[in-house]
Amino acid sequence: MAVSNVKGVTKGVYKYKPHEHELVKIKDGNARDELTAAAIGQTCVRESAIVIVLSAVYERTTQRYGDRGIRYVQMEAGHAAQNLYLQALSLNLGTVVVGALKDQEVRKILKMPDEEYPLYLMPVGKI
C-alpha cells in the first residue's frame, strides 16, 4: 500500500504482513504520482489518502489446485475488494477498484518480488 495522507502514518510504501498483522515500510516518500502514472493517469489515485494494492502470488494456489487455482485467486481478490468497499463505507470514505494499470510499473514502485503480481489498485479517501 502507498500512504500519502493518513494521520499518524508516515508517507511511504508499506507491505502488510498478515501473519504478524503489521505494516513494514519498504520505501520512504509519497508514491502517489508514480502510482497515478502507472494507473494510466487516473486522478482518483492521485487524490486519495492511501492506495491499497491487492496482489497475488499464484504459485501458492496453483501448486495445490492446478490451473483452477488462478480462478480461486481472482475470486478471493474480488472478495477482499468487496470487504474493503464495505469497510470504507463504514468509515464514510470512498474507494474504487482500478484495474487499468501497468503491471511492471506497479511492481517496481512497490518493490514486488518476481512471483507477485498486482491485481487491483484501490485508492481510499474522503468523499
Q: What is the CATH number of the domain that holds 99?
A: 3.40.109.10
User: Strand 117-126 vs strand 93-95: parallel, antiparallel, or unpaired?
Assistant: antiparallel
Q: What is the DSSP string of 67-104?
A: THHHHHHHHHHHHHHHHHHHHHHHTTEEE--B----HH
What's residue 25's pLDDT? 96
pLDDT at 127: 86
Closest CA to 11 of 25, 39, 30, 26: 30
pLDDT score for 108: 96
pTM for this one? 0.93
Query: Rounded to whole angstroms, how far apart are CA atoms 127 and 77?
Result: 24
Number of structural domains in the chain: 1
Q: Low-confidence residues of the chain, pLDDT below 50? A: none
Give residue 44's domain range.
2-126
